[in-house]
Chains A and B, each alone.
Chain A
Amino acid sequence: MTVDVPLEVFAAPVLPEILPPPRRRGWLGGFLLRHPGMAAGIALLSIMLVIAVFAPLLATVDPTALAPVRRLRPPSAHYWFGTDMLGRDIYSRVMYGARVSLTVGFAVAALASATGTLIGLLAGFVRWSDALIMRVMDGVMSIPPILLAIALMALTRGSVQNVIIAITISEIPRVARLVRGVVLSLREQPYVEAAIACGTRLPTIIWRHILPNTLAPLTVQATYICASAMITEAILSFIGAGTPPTIPSWGNIMAEGRALWQIKPFIVFFPAVFLSLTVLAVNLVGDGLRDALDPRLAKRL
């Protein structure tokens, strides 16, 4: 959701003469010190990753086990985050929910980047396909991402996999456009033309010259896609078009608790806080990466 807009404006001028600053010892540490936001983001994100990976070990119980007799217990020493209307342990559900959110976020970021890069390379190098591909991408981009994901979900059944596919499709065009832009500007560069003239094979050119230059803006873009995908997943689940209600995702927990937000706000509160913090973490990392990879911008921010 947050993606399309900022990057095109922020990251577009990155290309291509600007290369990452030379690596020095302690560069990372120094950078983090100068960028507390990014440090906080990385720390938060690491915590969420640990939660997702080690959810079964974090004093959780089966997040789907019902116990209607002990429903709607407020947070206490026994039920840290309370229980929901079916007596399920919200703490366990939230911990396991991290898996769904992060899986969706990272999977969408990876898939959209990979597919988008391929499409972008194709459009950039195969001239006759360019116009066609870009018209299709423009068309897909003109459907607001959430609506596109909703429409795609209408075609299938709710499952984590389908959610990932639906959100990925709506994010691909932005990546494709970015990569195509890089390819088009690089293709005219003397050293690339020289390489072509020497008869270097296309895969080698892509590998040696194109991909390294797309990496920086692509990484930044991917973090924003990741954050956006997590919010979209929560929204889809919240309106009942996302992961099936039997899976504990943060969106589902909130959807189930929202009817009782006046009297049992904790049901919505805990997943909401975790979702917000995770998205915040990813956004902070994204901002940090942008500053790191675009020193010109970094000076100002």
Chain B
Amino acid sequence: MLVYALRRVLATIPVMAVVALFVFSLLYFAPGDPAAIIAGDQATPEQIAHIRASLGLDRPFLVRFGEWSWHILHGDLGTSIFTNLPVSHMIAQRLEPTFSLMLLTLILSLVVAIPMGVVAAWRQGSWIDRLIMVVAVFGFSTPVFVIGYLLAYVFALQLDWLPVQGYTPIAEGFWPFLQSLILPAVTLGGIYIALIARITRASMLEVLSQDYVRTARAKGLGERAVLFVHALKNAAVPIVTVAGLGVALLIGGAVVTESVFAIPGLGRLTVDAILRRDYPVIQGVVLLFSFVYVLVNLLVDLLYSLFDPRIRY
């Protein structure tokens, strides 16, 4: 187990290296000369050449990649072209809203989607199964922003239950914090719920046809115990895998959701950065999100053995 864990951790290193190489190339191949941008609009070509040399922009690709990676490993993500602030600082300012949103969405989605999938599998072929699957397909097919605007219209403007926009840091109270995130989380959760519900149903069906479930039923165990204790536990591996892979959907959805609800998080930062072609910021965000994504899936892999004692490495 330990050896496996170690191997799995080591395996993420080449993956992150590829990500880093890609992200670095982004700036390397970006149109526009960073030196010219730093020099300002009154600079002479000699001044620009001087700045380029002093920044080391005239050195070979691999040398610069090495140096850049070295800085990244020390937490230095460079400086935003647009605001002149360190990218790491800009990202740090926006971490809380995004991760709060994603965590809340994750919890909400699992709480809703897993029972949906279990019930659908349990009552396979019934109207409730069909209804749940139809809902799931719709959840899959409706763009995030459409759900967002609909929800904001109904629950914020018409019913006035929740705020339309903005984010309240958790330091200003848990309830306001939660209020500001409910609509965005439900919006973002739509596609994720659909995903988890489908995979839960599929893997539950697989498990429910197994012998030991019949045995458990035959033993006279209650239906709830059979479903949620025996079956779900055995169906957990694919569910957790997909939940981990689906984090990519959450990250992509956050970009849109934060724009719709004016949440000052990393998603908004990404959107602003792309409109301004602020490459260092784009680099930083892509790197960070990829790292989180890899980390989540690493944890998922390591969790397998906890969920499924049959897996031995």
Contact = CB atoms under 8 A, between A and B. Distances in A.
B153 interface: yes
A234 B17 CA distance: 31
Given A235-B256, A276-B143, A280-B137, A142 B29 contact: no
Interface string A1-44: 11011101110000000000000000000000000010000000
Given A139-B18, A154-B30, A241 B149 contact: no
Interface in B205-236: 205-206
A234 B277 CA distance: 20
B70 to A, nearest CB: 19
Q: Tell me what chain A mostly uses at the interface: helix, strand, loop, or mixed.
A: helix
Contacts of A4: 245, 248
A15 B21 CA distance: 34
Nearest to A224: B140
Interface string B253-276: 001100110000000001101110
Contact of A5 (B30, B195, B206, B260): B195
Contacts of A154: 26, 30, 273-274, 277, 279, 282
Given A9-B202, A235-B143, A142 B277 contact: no
Interface residues of A, number: 52
Contacts of A47: none
A231 B297 CA distance: 24
Interface stretch (B40-48, B50-58, B83-91, B284-292): B284-292
B286 A143 contact: yes
B249 interface: yes
Given A139-B17, A154-B277, A254-B145, A287 B137 contact: yes
B286 A148 contact: yes
Contacts of B18: 135-136, 138-140
B255 A10 contact: no
A133 to B, nearest CB: 11
B99 to A, nearest CB: 15
B252 A144 contact: yes
Contacts of A241: 271, 274-275
Contacts of B15: 135, 138-139, 142
A37 B14 CA distance: 43
A151 B286 CA distance: 8
B251 A227 contact: no
Nearest to B137: A283
Interface in B132-156: 137-138, 140-146, 149, 153
Interface string A230-274: 011011001111000000000000100010011001001000100
A276 B14 CA distance: 38
Contacts of B245: 4-5, 8
B157 interface: yes
A88 B26 CA distance: 37
A262 B256 contact: no
Interface string B29-41: 1110000000000
A241 B30 CA distance: 15
Contacts of B101: none
A10 B2 CA distance: 30
A238 B274 contact: no
Contacts of B162: none
A284 interface: yes
Contacts of B188: none
A269 B143 CA distance: 12
Contact of A146 (B202, B255, B294, B297): B255
B299 interface: no
Contacts of A140: 18, 22
A238 B145 contact: yes
Contacts of A138: 14-15, 18
Contact of A235 (B142, B251, B252): B252
Interface in A141-188: 142-148, 150-151, 153-155
B146 A268 contact: yes
A142 B19 contact: yes
Nearest to B144: A235
Interface string A93-115: 00000000000000000000000
B198 A6 contact: yes
A45 interface: no
Nearest to B277: A154
Interface in B106-141: 124, 137-138, 140-141
Contacts of B273: 154
Contact of A6 (B141, B195, B270): B195
A262 B252 contact: no
Given A1-B191, A268-B149, A283-B137, A147 B274 contact: no
A153 B275 CA distance: 10
A147 B256 CA distance: 11
A81 B238 CA distance: 44
Q: Which 6 residue pairs across A and B have the least CB separation, nearest first?
A: A139-B18, A146-B252, A280-B141, A144-B248, A279-B141, A144-B251
15 contacts: A1-B252, A5-B195, A6-B195, A6-B242, A139-B15, A139-B18, A142-B16, A144-B290, A148-B286, A155-B31, A234-B143, A240-B271, A258-B145, A279-B143, A280-B140
Given A241-B275, A280-B137, 12 more contacts: A139-B17, A144-B247, A147-B285, A155-B29, A155-B30, A155-B31, A240-B275, A241-B271, A258-B260, A265-B153, A277-B141, A279-B141
Interface of A: 1-2, 4-6, 8-10, 37, 135-136, 138-140, 142-148, 150-151, 153-155, 227, 231-232, 234-235, 238-241, 254, 258, 261-262, 265, 268, 272, 275-277, 279-280, 283-284, 287, 297, 300
